[in-house]
Structure 1
Amino acid sequence: MTTVSEPALRQATDGSGRPWPATAGGARPTPSHASTAPAQAEREDVYVEPGLTPLAAREANRRALTALLDVVGVAYFAVRGTSDHGTVIGVAEHDRERVLGALFRGLGQYPGHLSVIDPDALRAAKPVSSRDPRAWREVNSARIVQVSWYRTDPGRHLLLGHEYGCAIEFWQPQGTYLVAPRANRATWAVLANSANVLGAARLFSRFVSDWTDQHLAPALATRPEFLVNCADDIAFPVDAVYTWVDGNDPAWKQRKAQAKGEVYHAESASDARFISRDELRYSVRSLHLFAPWIRNIYIVTDDQVPEWLREDLPGLRIASHREIFRNPADLPTFNSHSIESQLHHIEGLAEHFLYFNDDMFMGRPVAPHAFFTPSGTARYFPSRNRIPQGPVAESDTPVDAACKNNRALLRERFGRVITQPMEHIPYALRRTAMEEAERDFPEAWARTSASRFRAMTDLSPTSSFALYYAALTGRAQPGSMPFTYLQLAVPDLADRLQRLLDGRDQDSFCLNDAFSTPEDIEAQQELLDGFLTSYFPTPSPYER
């Protein structure tokens, strides 16, 4: 009997070739993403995969399935499907018997899951274990069959199920063409006798860009009809920028103590604002897991480097304050508004970039379309709160004071009044818009840059001003996404973190801390350590 070799599925095993049953040795893995694996995963085979990411699971499923087809000599081509999570391959209808035979033999050796997809059905069929005879009942006449092998990380925190599988479409002959059984992103038909060509990985998922690791997202053999730039494609690069500080660094503490500046509000000087809880490590992990389309990551620091960080790999770079500040006299600074006013000076930064505080995280796979339109327009996310009326007052928080200053300048320049601050969602920014804003408001920009601590005269450059400036000049528009903002200084922190972990249904979330006392921090840290390692179990390549 012909079977697929063990190496073809080695990514789906624990190294021994044996699947890991989810009910043995620990808690059931938490499902990843909104459409979770079915409940029978508790009883069925789940394969342990070190270094697990959604993209790795997707690619491993595709490789396993195409390996089965290679063994029996069935020709196939990648299809530009409408789902970003899994992959789709097309085969000719006349190869159905060989395809189903290969599936039966392969899934007999390495059990997985099947579902028959009816494009006309109101509800998608649930996947069924390949061990169950019911899984095979309708495959002989199916237009589409999806195959997957469920995967978990060694700690059993993630469960990546059927949505990351590979679908086989049976394309019907019609004259000189093969016709698709359902709509895709490019075409209903391909020439039957055309040769395959290589297509860039980004053509087959919006979670992939030209800068994604080619081992996780290789070019695929496809048909020439799929090599088109569609109107909804995002082909421009998107970078990520973080600002980070280690408030426990003695040298940094000394610089802070020697700095001159008036601290006008208790929140401005709160030690909680400068504590490093290792959030940055896990936020970078969130990009590795859920936003592999990011081109470069820049971490802006005051000559500090996280001890866990590798600096010898492409794709991530430390950018010093000394590099980006145009006026060296403004340094050192301990004011996030000041630092944010200079981010667009990072050498090599893309026109389109996301700005993260280190307490912001991607919560599940998110496409760049959540932050930018295909034409390059940025999306911003207005808060349900409102900016207080009236001029800046001594009782204002630093956030409210900066919002009032933003409002006054933009009203004078554009005759429009901004009323809402922004949610704590990664800020989608245009580099040229920030450059123009700095030129249009040089005095206010320079004043913010020179404020060593948050001051009554600050703008909030990235979290509000630059976003509204881009909107008022035609380069940004409001958007929305599922997100959570969680203030750590709450009495029910453990329950809230557990709900976030169990749900995994937010595109992004922020774990903010501005008011914690030293007494709070130790207890919080234990909760955070458990939550972050469970939510983001897979290290990024940039960790030592």
Structure 2
Amino acid sequence: MPEKIDVVFLWVDSADPAWRDKKAKYQPAKASEASASDVRYRDYGTLKYALRSLEKYAPWLNQIFLITDQQVPEWLDTYSSKVKIIDHREIIDDKYLPVFNSSVIEMNIDKIPGLSEKFVYFNDDMLLNCPLSPEDFFQGDQPCDYRIYKPIVPFEEFDHILINNGILLNRYLDGKWPLSKKGIFSKKYGSDLFRNLLMMPYLKRSGVPGYVEPHGPLSLKKSSFALARQIWPKEIAENNTHRFREYNDVTVWLVRHLQLERGEFCPRDAKFTRFLRLNQTDEIKQTLESQRNGAICINDDVVDDYEACARKVDEYLEKKFPEKSSFEK
């Protein structure tokens, strides 16, 4: 029998008064813009369609775990054996709770009781876009991913996190890049392969400058998290204390980068996922209709016409996934 592949989602209902009161109680007076902004938390209804996309395009997926903070989507059938609600308390020590920092939650997802060794991690704004097979996510026991390098050009607060991850990774590599050559020059990268060719002198001389990040479903292994905790025990433990997003956060991408640098992955097309912002409504519609990409991420953004954009996207998703999943009431 093929090894099981589970799915993990993070979700929060930012309109819940109890949750909002709790956030206000613990939020520091001088919170960073990234922590204070509602954009980081607001729910515009994509999770329901994300679950529909899994049932329609990847029914072979095993268990779906939904990580929440004492919340349950009102439309979810809690009697479904396919979807399990995981409260923060089940994976994060009580002394760190409540937590409003996705970076902390992500770095603890491997602690979900019963989670399979191979799993795919989704944000609630990520959906499958066409029929897919297990081999689109794992080849044997190796996650499917792409190892494409690029320099980090910082523009916003979030870019601190990319640099934090890079510092830890390059300390681990200790000037010995590459530990593995696997997937550096894969033909599957298409024109993106030139990025690696351009970065090669820098990689050999100075280390990893940064990566092209997928902003889509991540294929991960529990054992990769365990290895990360062995390599960076103090930094990951410290990360748990960051109740809200901080400049020195580390994220689940660090685990991804570890898999890439150790050659523990199989190369895939870099265009597997298309990343679009909520206000790119025409592009979202076109991507959903064309099915050229295996997955799509519809990312929230600071836009003047948020309500109008959210309504349009909901209309497109309802048209694409009109049938209720077996996980709904």
TM-score by length of 1: 0.52
Seq. identity, %: 32
Q: Does 1:431 align with 2:222?
A: yes
Separation in 2, partners of 1:458, 1:502: 37
| Equivalent-residue separation in structure 2 for 1:275 and 1:293 (angstroms) | 30
Q: CA RMSD in A?
A: 1.9
Give 1:511 shift.
Answer: 0.3
Residues 1:354 and 2:120 are matched in the alignment: yes
In the alignment, which residue of structure 2 is the partner of 1:275? 42
The whole-number CA distance in structure 2 between the counterparts of 1:371 and 1:353 is 9
Q: Distance in 1 between matches of 2:291 and 2:263?
A: 34
Is the Cα–Cα contact under 8 Å of residues 284 and 298 in structure 2 kept in the other structure? no
CA distance in structure 2 between the partners assigned to 1:448 and 1:262 by the alignment: 20
Check if 1:409 corresponds to 2:198.
no
Q: 1:410 deviation in Å?
A: 1.1
How far apart, in 1, do the equivalents of 2:285 and 2:256 lie?
Answer: 33
- Cα deviations across residues 421-444 of structure 1 (Å, max 9, x unaligned)? 411120000001102212321221
Give CA deviations for 1:41-93 in whole Å, capped at 9, x if unaligned: xxxxxxxxxxxxxxxxxxxxxxxxxxxxxxxxxxxxxxxxxxxxxxxxxxxxx
Distance 1:345 1:262, change over 3 A: farther
Query: Per the alignment, in what secondary structure is the counterpart of residue 284 of structure 2?
Result: helix
> Are positions 1:470 and 2:237 aligned together?
no
Residues 1:387 and 2:152 are matched in the alignment: yes
Q: Is the 8 A contact 1:238 1:354 kept in 2?
A: yes
Q: SS state of the match for residue 228, structure 2?
A: helix
Q: What secondary structure, in the 3-state scheme, does the structure 1 residue paired with 2:139 have?
A: coil
Q: Which residue does the alignment assign to 2:196?
A: none
Report what 2:19 is aligned to. 252
Which residue of 37, 62, 67 corresponds with 1:300? 67
Aligned partner (choices 523, 526, 529) of residue 314 of structure 2: 529
DSSP-derived class of the 1:500 partner: helix
CA contact (8 A) 1:334 1:453 kept: yes
How many pairs does the alignment contain? 296
Bigger radius of gyration: 1
CA distance in 1, matches of 2:313, 2:162: 30
In the alignment, structure 1 residue 501 sits paired with structure 2 residue 282: no
- Correspondence for 2:183: none
Instruction: Describe the shift of the 1:342–1:323 C-alpha distance in structure 2 as closer, same or farther (beyond 3 A).
Output: same
Amino acid at match of 1:308: W
Residue 135 of structure 2: aligned partner: 369
In structure 2, relative to structure 1, the CA distance for the partners of 1:307 and 1:504 (3 Å cut) is same
Q: How does the TM-score come out when normalised to structure 2?
A: 0.84
**CA distance, structure 1, for counterparts of residue 29 and residue 91 of structure 2:** 24
Which whole-Å CA distance do the structure 2 matches of 1:384 and 1:485 have between them?
18
Gap change, CA 1:398 and 1:341, over 3 Å in 2: farther
> How many angstroms does 1:515 deviate by?
1.8
Larger helix proportion of the pair: 2
Contact 1:262–1:453, Cα closer than 8 Å, also in 2: no
CA–CA separation in structure 1 for the residues paired with 2:259 and 2:120: 14
Correspondence 1:266 to 2:33: yes
**Correspondence for 1:516:** 303
Gaps of 5+ in 2: 178-206
How is 1:230-245 mapped onto 2 (pairs within 5 angstroms)?
235-245=2-12
Q: Which structure 1 segments of 5+ residues have no match?
A: 1-209, 211-234, 389-394
Aligned ranges 1:443-458 → 2 under 5 Å: 443-458=234-249
Distance in 2, matches of 1:354 and 1:455, equals 26
Counterpart Cα distance in 2 of 1:535 and 1:302: 29
Report how far residue 262 of structure 1 moved: 6.6
Q: Does the 8 A contact of 1:379 with 1:479 survive in 2?
A: yes
Matched-pair contact (CA < 8 Å) for 2:126–2:297: yes
- Shift in alpha-carbon separation, 1:524–1:446, aligned structure 2, 3 A: same
Cα displacement (A) at 1:385: 5.3
Partner of residue 203, structure 2: none
Distance in 2 of aligned mates of 1:465 and 1:541: 34
* Residue matched to 1:165: none
CA distance in 1, matches of 2:268, 2:151: 17
Taking a change above 3 Å as real, the CA distance of residues 443 and 260 of structure 1, as seen in their structure-2 partners, is farther
Partner of 1:49: none
